Amino acid sequence: MPLKIRIQFYFPPQVKKFYNLKLNFFWCSLLEFKGLSYLDLEKPKLMIFCGKGGVGKTTCATATALHFARKGFKTLLISTDPTPSLSDILEVYVKGQITDVKFVERLSAIELDYELILKRWRERFGGEVYEVISSFLPVGEEIIDYIAGAPGLDEEFSLSYVLDLYESKNYDTIVWDTAPAGGTLSLLRLQDRFYRHLGEAARLYFRVRKAIEVLTKGTVKRDPISIISKWEQLVQRVFNMLKDEKTHTIIVTIAEALGVRMTERMLKEVEAFGMRVSKILVNYIITEDMCMCDFHRERAAMQKHYLEILKNMRGESMLSILPQLPREVKGAKAVEKIEELLF
C-alpha cells in the first residue's frame, strides 16, 4: 500500500493577508482591473469625465490630471460641476481663475462657477447678441442681461470656454470634470438644438430681410447673417472637438442598479453625438478581503451582479475598476494614491 504524506506549510498572518488580497482581486479578472493606463499610449488632448453625481468623477479626473502633469504634459484640470469639490480635493483654491497647483509642476486647475461664466459670456457674446436682436426689434442693451438669465446659458457657454482653451494650444492635455450625468446630456442636446436653430434663424432672416431693412432704416451696424454664421461655425468647432480621435470620454459609475441604468443611457446618448467612450470606470468596488461581516459580503455579491451586467453591456475590455478606500480623498497624498491605482 503506497504511503501518503501530507505536507502543510505555515505562513505568517501578514503573508496570508497579502496573498489573500491578490487572490480576492482575481474575481474582478485581470481585464477589468487595469485602470486608465491605456491613456498613456493614446496621449489624449481632451479627457472628459462624466457620470451621475456621487460616483467619484472629480476624484478620478483629478488623479488623471496629476498623472499627465507628472509625465511632463502641461495639463489643465477644469470642473464645470455646479457643486464643485475640486478645491477641496486639491486643498488649493481654484474657483474662478486658472491657478497653478503647487504640489506638482505643469498642472493648473479651475472651477467654473455660474457668475464667472455669465460675466465671460457678456464679454464674449453680449454685443453680438444685441446686434442680432436689435436688427429685428427696437430694444436697448438691457436685453443682454435678460438673455444672460436664460436657463442653460451657463452650460452652453462652458463648452465654448473649454473650446477656447483647447484651441489655444497653451496646454498639452485638458481634463474636464463635467456636471452630473443629467447636466452633461442636456448640454449635448442643447448644443445640437442650438446648431439646428441657428440654421433656421438664418433662413428666417433671409425671408424677412427686406422688411427689417425698412423698419431699421439702415441702423444695423453689421449684417446679422454674418454673426449667425459665425455662431454656427463656433458650434461646429465644438462638435469637432468632442468627436476628435484625441478626445476620450470616460464614464465613471458604481456597481448599483441606478449607476448601471445611467451608464447605459449615457453610452447611447454620448455615442449618438459621435463621441468616443473609451472606458467605463466602476468605482467603490468592495474586494473580498474587506468582507469581514454579512453587510460587506452582501454588498460585494451585489456589486458582482452589476459588474456582470456592465460586462455584458460592452465587454470586459471596456471596464476598469477602482476599489473602495478606507479614507476620503483629500490632499496631495490621497490624490497620488488614486493615481497609483488608476495607472
C-beta separation of 283 from 253 below 8 A: yes
As a whole-number percent, the residues of the chain with pLDDT over 90 amount to: 43
| Residue 93 backbone phi and psi in degrees, to 5 | -75, 115
Measured between alpha carbons, how far is residue 239 from residues 178, 192, 235 in Å? 16, 9, 6
Q: Is 251 exposed, middle or buried (0-12, 13-18, 19+ CB in 10 A)?
A: buried
Q: Look at residue 63 and give its three-state secondary structure.
A: helix
Q: What is the model's pLDDT at position 297? A: 86
Q: What is the model's pLDDT at position 233? A: 82
211-228 burial: b if 16+ Cβ within 10 Å, else e: eeeeeeeeeeeeebeebb
Place of cell 425698412: 214
Q: What is the model's pLDDT at position 155? A: 67
Q: Look at residue 239 and give its three-state secondary structure.
A: helix
Q: Is 86 exposed, middle or buried (0-12, 13-18, 19+ CB in 10 A)?
A: buried
Does the predicted model carry a pTM greater than 0.85?
A: no
Q: Which residues pair with 250 in a beta bridge?
A: 49, 279
Closest C-alpha to 319, from 277, 286, 289: 277
Residue 218 CA to residue 18 CA, distance in Å, equals 81
Distance of CA 21 to the CA centre of its chain: 31
Q: How many helices (H) and strands (E) does the chain have?
A: 13, 8
Residue 31 CA to residue 23 CA, distance in Å, equals 15
Residue 40 CA to residue 38 CA, distance in Å, equals 5
Residue 100 CA to residue 114 CA, distance in Å, equals 21
In the numeric block, which cell numbers belong to residue 195? Answer: 446648431
Regions in the chain scoring below 50 on pLDDT: 1-27, 29-32, 202, 205-206, 208, 211-212, 214-216
Residue 78 CA to residue 34 CA, distance in Å, equals 25
For residue 115, how many other CB atoms are within 10 A of its CB? 10
Q: Which residues pair with 108 in a beta bridge?
A: 76, 100
Place of cell 453591456: 313
Segment 115-146, tens digit of pLDDT:
777 787 778 777 777 777 776 666 677 767 76
Edge-first strand listing for the sheet containing 319-323: 99-100, 107-111, 75-79, 173-177, 46-50, 247-254, 277-285, 319-323
Q: What is the model's pLDDT at position 158? A: 80
Domain definitions of the chain by residue range? 33-342
Q: Which helix (H) or strand (E) holds 330?
A: none
128: alpha, beta or left? (left if phi > 0; alpha if psi -120 to 50): alpha
Segment 215-255, tens digit of pLDDT:
445 555 567 777 777 777 888 888 899 999 999 999 999 99
Q: What is the model's pLDDT at position 281? A: 96
> CATH homologous superfamily of domain 33-342?
P-loop containing nucleotide triphosphate hydrolases (3.40.50.300)
Residue 253 CA to residue 284 CA, distance in Å, equals 9
